[in-house]
Amino acid sequence: MQHSRAFLHAALLAPAALVLVAGLPIQASDLDSRIESTIKGSYTFKAYLAADDISVKSDEGVVTLKGTVAVSYHKALAEETAANTAGVKRVKNELQVKSGEPAEHSDGWISMKVKAVLMFHKNVSATGTDVETTNGVVTLKGQTDSQAQKELTTEYVKDVESVKKVNNQMTVSGAKPHGTVGEKHERTAGEKVDDASITAQVKTSLLFHRSTHALTTKVTTRNGVVHLYGEANNAAEKHLVTKLATDIHGVERVQNHMSVK
């Protein structure tokens, strides 16, 4: 009799166990689908990587990136964005850079870095600035909203690796430059930038600036608030990291927890 009851109990439990086991792949599949759509819909992918050919595949939280990107820093941006997306355990970055990228430290390479730095920072205008580089000397042309914005543009460009001198010929218009319709990296008022994209922008921007590229800085973002960890050589360096991070698209506030040597 006891044997019969045990058998009946096991029989009743079996279907429930099958449902649970059968449910696992469905749940994992739903999570992977959410991860893929979140990464593809991120600010970074829409604003900076829209013209690149990138496929995103998640398998139980392990994300594989495949395809081609125009320049090497796009590869890093894609990886950082994916790695900081909720639910992602690991990223396999198999992206390839298209041929034709400027040689490192060449004038073309410098111009590319300068344009990228201006795109990341919200208090300068990437679309309103023309960049030309000759023998390491960067000439800036176009329009700027104010003298303060013009000076900040010069400050940022001077701090890009391999830039020898900046010749800022921009004119102060007193109004936002026209002709920016369709430029996806120009953020419209009220647009929400996701935390993963903020982290990716901050980390990449710090690598582009000569004064901060050598620092090992950990960056996390929650609801637009950026937290910085690591070690700065001095108080001025720590202050600069805070300033640069604060001026990134989507950043609401920066809490700098870095220690000073």
What are 80-84's contacts with CB under 8 Å, separation 24+?
80/44, 80/196, 80/199, 80/200, 80/203, 80/204, 81/39, 81/42, 81/44, 81/45, 81/196, 81/197, 81/199, 81/200, 82/39, 82/56, 82/196, 84/195, 84/196, 84/199, 84/200, 84/221
Common-topology check for domains 107-172 and 195-260:
yes
Question: How many whole angstroms separate alpha carbon 246 and alpha carbon 197?
Answer: 14
Could you report the per-residue pLDDT of 73-127, keeping only the tens digit for each? 999 999 999 999 999 999 999 999 998 889 889 999 999 999 999 999 999 988 8
* pLDDT(169) > 80: yes
Mean pLDDT of 25-30: 68
pLDDT band at 1 (very low <50, low <70, confident <90, very high): low
Could you report the per-residue pLDDT of 43-73, keeping only the tens digit for each? 999 999 999 999 999 999 999 999 999 999 9
Could you report the per-residue pLDDT of 114-168, keeping only the tens digit for each? 999 999 999 998 888 999 999 999 999 999 989 999 999 999 999 998 999 999 9
pTM of the model: 0.82
* pLDDT(17) > 90: no
What are the structural domain ranges in the chain?
2-97, 107-172, 195-260
- CATH number of the structural domain 107-172: 3.30.1340.30
Domain 195-260, CATH 3.40.50.620 — does that match? no
